Amino acid sequence: MTKLNQVIAVEKGVKNRVVTEVTELYQAASHPALFEGFNKKYKPNEEGSETFPSEAKKVQKNANDVLKRASSVLSELFDVTASKDFANCDAVADVVVDDKVLLTGVPATYLLFLEKQLTDMHTLVGSLPVLDAAENWVWDENANLFKTEPTVTTRTKKVQKALVMYPHSDKHPAQTQLITEDVNIGSWEQVKFSGALPTNVKTNLLEKVEKLQKAVKFAREEANTVDAPSQTVGAKVFNWLLGA
């Protein structure tokens, strides 16, 4: 008995081949000239008069042949797809994580959907930022964010000041020079906030997504081992469609 996973394995190849051939048949059907022909002979009114060679054009395509070929190749695709879809009705499996059943009797089609969603989830989690390891972060319940302890930095201002080079005396006036120095005029107190994830939380979440991905994949493979009896719906469809 053919298994569902075997049918799935050949379905893509059958579909690609059938689509290619049906496309060629459609392209031929779109050219009416391929279905037309003629046989032309010249007959003079008087014996011995000028004659002309016969002309002919062969019919290259026959509508009945096109329909017959289309029904043949499409019947194969109909049957393979039916075998898969009918078997999918019975293809179910449990999703087991850490030896515990997370989901029971999940259809193979839904497991395939779940695989795609978990791939997207893994991408999303992987793109999330993590907290800067250079800072010490604590959780702030009120802000619902991580924050750092306050840090204080000084605020300075450049101020020009006269520097006395030589003091005033009876013989010489005082000599001074303007210099610029930084004067502390205040301070900044800063608290940083972040909505990023702690590194260990992100790592743990990625590991859980990956574990679930494996569990879903194993479940899908198990579900696809169900028997897939061959279906012959194609002949019934096209016998009715093209029958007298």
pLDDT along the chain (244 residues), means of 10: 89 94 93 91 88 92 92 93 91 95 94 95 95 94 93 87 72 76 87 95 96 96 92 90 79
Strands 38-40 and 193-194, sheet pairing:
unpaired
Tokens, residue 114: 């779940």
Rounded Cα gap, residues 7 and 217, in angstroms: 18
pLDDT digits (tens, 9 = 90+) for 60-85: 999 999 999 999 999 999 999 999 99
pLDDT digits (tens, 9 = 90+) for 128-146: 999 999 999 999 999 999 9
b/e 78-100 (16+ beta carbons within 10 angstroms → b):
bbbbbbbebbbeebbbbbbeeee
